[in-house]
């Protein structure tokens, strides 16, 4: 079991792009309840099954397991809620942290958010100049909510 501690922010400009290479992510949700989320992801040619517990502040338990990409595709196409999340994820290392910038596509096109995983809740963060408003506690920005209430419908 891993405790995931992350914070999420809007991205206010494109100055990060020159520092990053992106990877296509496709993900769908089998279950999106308040107490747990079960997600399937395809990252490039790899598949993953992820189970997350309820969020408490900026933390939650998370289990993630690699699965055959063929299984991930089958689950995504046959068992997951629609629409799926499609995004390009970019990673930028700055000040000892790895920022993951998600540029969404399809019904969430135009939304760009940055997440940073922390080792503890009170960890000090040096914010890059391209980081905007924090949206960690705004449920609209969670991937599981973006399938039900896409950004293009706000």
Tokens of 130: 């391209």
Global pTM reads: 0.91
pLDDT of res. 126: 94
pLDDT tens digits for the chain (154 residues)?
688 889 999 999 999 999 999 999 999 999 988 789 999 999 999 999 999 998 788 788 999 999 999 999 999 999 998 889 999 999 999 999 999 999 999 999 999 999 999 998 889 999 999 999 999 999 999 998 999 999 999 9
The one catalytic residue among 25, 29, 90, 141: 29
What are the chain's domains? Answer: 2-153 (2.40.320.10)
Q: Is 48 a catalytic residue?
A: no
Q: How far is CA 89 from CA 28, 62, 69, 86, in A?
A: 15, 19, 18, 10
């Amino acid at each position: 079991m891993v405790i995931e501690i992350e914070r999420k922010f809007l991205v206010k400009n494109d100055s990060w792009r020159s520092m990053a290479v992106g990877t296509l992510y496709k993900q769908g949700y089998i279950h999106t309840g308040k107490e747990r989320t079960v997600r399937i992801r395809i990252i490039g040619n790899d598949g993953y099954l992820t189970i997350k517990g309820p969020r408490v502040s900026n933390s939650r338990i998370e289990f993630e397991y690699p699965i055959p990409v063929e299984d991930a595709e089958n689950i995504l196409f046959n068992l997951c809620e629609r629409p799926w999340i499609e995004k390009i994820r970019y990673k930028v290392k700055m000040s000892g942290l790895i920022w993951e910038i998600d540029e969404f596509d399809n019904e969430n096109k135009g939304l760009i958010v940055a997440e940073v995983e922390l080792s503890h809740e009170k960890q000090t963060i040096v914010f890059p100049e391209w980081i905007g408003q924090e949206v960690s506690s705004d449920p609209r920005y969670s991937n599981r909510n973006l399938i039900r209430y896409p950004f293009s419908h706000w």
